[in-house]
Structure 1
Amino acid sequence: MSTSNMSTYRQGHDPSVTYNHTLRTAEVEGAFVIPHIKPEFKILDVGCGPGTITTGFAKYVPQGSVTGIDLTDEVLGQAEAHLAQQSPKISNVKFEKGNVLDGLHFEDGEFDLVFCSQVLIHIPDPVSALREMKRVCKSKTGLICAREGDWPFRYVPYSPGLQVFHRYFYEMINGKAPSSIAQPDQPPFAPGHKGGSLVHVHARQAGFDPSRIEKGGKVTIYGTESERRQYATSMINRMEKGGHNEKYVQKLGATEEQLNEIAQAWKEWADDVDGWHAIMHCETICRN
């Protein structure tokens, strides 16, 4: 695979990072897509991660197939392991290494539906990615579907430690954050921002007809005690086991004091009976 346009997933694929990804399902992340799927569809899942959504689509295309692509052997190994654990065995799913920015090896119009979830926000050139997804999708009848989180994330309470986390997390994905990142009521748009609310704009720039772009969205809430503890633990594990601490320090200039402040803030948020966290997901369907 060429590395001329090599895209990287800056959060990495350590199991402490992909743990949250393994909780994603076709029935939740792909709920807006499922009504459009026909049994004979060929589906491409771009940025498939550990493969739980990819394998979840399989039951909806018994006469078709699902192909998942991602960047590294590490995460594709996790996807293959997940596929091997399915019972009954799934025979219409496969995983391959592929980078949408380098150009995919698939033929023009090879797929009926191209899907991605939480992928375009991590790609340095989402317009080029959507253009390539458009190419491999059938003209006139094909669907390109994206579900992408948007900024700002919402926290209650929005403690100083979570504000520090929010800024560094944003910068790891989008680059330098503006000062408004610490203000929960102001969208932290900055040059290079790739939030889900801009997917339809990027799609238009990629050549899709705006009149054939459908825009929707849903919100994921973490509010119960068990939801808070699970989410906070996963965030702390990402920092301490998944290499995020090192990235915050080496790439973004965080201090050891700030890292400790972030970890303590997550623990306090998980224990807080008023603790609440929301992420808006923008769901976009582009008709080719």
Structure 2
Amino acid sequence: MNDSKLSSRNFRSARQEAAKAAAEQQQLGEPYAGPDSSYRLAFADSEFLLSEDLRSIRLQLEYLKPEMVQREFGIDSTIVIFGSARILPPDAARAVCDAARTTGDEAAIKRAEMQLAMSHHYEQAQRFANMVTKASQRLDHNIVVVTGGGPGIMEAGNRGALEAGGPSVGLNIVLPHEQAPNPYITPELCFQFHYFAIRKMHFLMRSIALVCFPGGFGTLDELFEVMTLQQTGKVRKRPILLFGREFWTKLINFELLVGTGMIGADDLKLFHFVESAEEAWGVIEQHYGLVPNEPSGADKGRLAEDI
């Protein structure tokens, strides 16, 4: 008996149908092959898919593509690294500082010196991602670094994972100004989003921890969404680590929020301040009781499960 016949498809695949229909359409010629013709399969018609009424379908597709690819790669637990795209690697920051000093422009020198001071966060993000990836290789559970896919802290995270010999994910976003993916992301795991909401959902879906370095509006948006979801019980608790106590306490007066009753004292337990890659990994390790080469006691995928 021919088993392949028993299990063969009853219908041609969508890819086969689209190729066949496109070839037939070209043979028909005008007016059916013209750009204004509606004689196309709906799922192969980009003009139709991009129409205003199909926004809900595009939202679904933007959710499904990264979900299916990550599932195919066996990615079920991630650590997300947030932070500014403007933080430079130390060598680049040093070069900017040296160039500024030659100009004699005090304002430019001050800005460049601040960039140099902030560049240590790039080193820590790179080191932390490297530690996560190496630890994952020793653990009974696979943990993958995820970033927003751009430059700065995001680049540092993907770079650290690559240098440790592991994969990493980049969740890029289409912006008014050009944003190219950094060169350290695993190519098969580099995604591009139109919708911020779907992108932020993917940041959270598999995350077992979120590590937040200094950043601007985008970083704050991502951080506060996560804290709000945990505060309101929409997602289960997981470590939120804020790198650099001095930066964060100057930026946000958490005590004022407690003192004025805007948040409860227990809400301060939603996050931890950390100063180094080692300290950050130690918090995560302690939270989950991670022990190299020993089962964590959780089934595959449980680390990243939300309520």
Classify the TM-score, shorter chain. Answer: 0.3 to 0.5
TM-score by length of 2: 0.33
Which is richer in strand?
1
Structure exhibiting the larger radius of gyration computed from Cα positions:
2
Compute the TM-score of the two structures, normalised by the length of structure 1.
0.34
